[in-house]
Amino acid sequence: MDTRDSLTQQLESKILADIPIAKLMGFAVLAVNEAGADCRLPLAPNTNHLGTQFGGSLYAAGALSCYTALMGLLARRGLSSNNIVITDGHIEYLSPGTGDVRLEARLPYEGQDAFSLQLQQKGRARLKLETSILDAANKMVARVKGEYLVRVETRP
């Protein structure tokens, strides 16, 4: 039985349907809330030649986690968009991921109101997000930072 809330389940279903690589990677959304999104990436489908997490998979999962947090923010504010893109992204690799990893994408506390207002008034807005990627011992494996552009149709 799935004990996750309906928003978490809906966002995971949308991501897995809209972004095929997410399903192939085994990407899972654990929780979506006001702070952001918590996700999981298993080691098995993302293993590199050294038996650790492949760096490209970590980056993709970090970007997907930020995307999930952003979609959650939009949903909680009564907004939606099918036009969300990352315009700038960076990853910092800190230690090898030797097992499954947890991804914690956090929304900035400040700037959410201005982001939502600009999105409603101008039909587009940017927001910077960050994902911490942690191993089972809560050791930081990597950090992904990105700036996301959201576009919506403006209301007349």
Per-residue pLDDT of the chain (156 residues; tens, 9 = 90+): 778 889 999 999 999 999 999 999 999 999 999 999 999 999 999 999 999 999 999 999 999 999 999 999 999 999 889 899 999 999 999 999 999 999 999 999 888 999 999 999 999 999 999 999 999 999 999 999 999 999 986 554
Q: Is residue 58 part of a domain?
A: yes
What is the domain range of residue 94? 6-151
For residue 1, is it within any domain?
no
Coil, helix or strand for 13? helix
C-alpha closest to that of 10 among 29, 25, 26 = 29
Does 156 map to a domain? no
As a whole number of angstroms, the distance between CA 42 and CA 117 comes to 37
Residue 102, domain member (yes or no): yes
How far the first Cα of the chain sits from its last, in Å, is 43
Give me the number of domains the chain comprises: 1
Which domain CATH number covers 103? 3.10.129.10
For residue 38, tell me if it sits in a domain.
yes
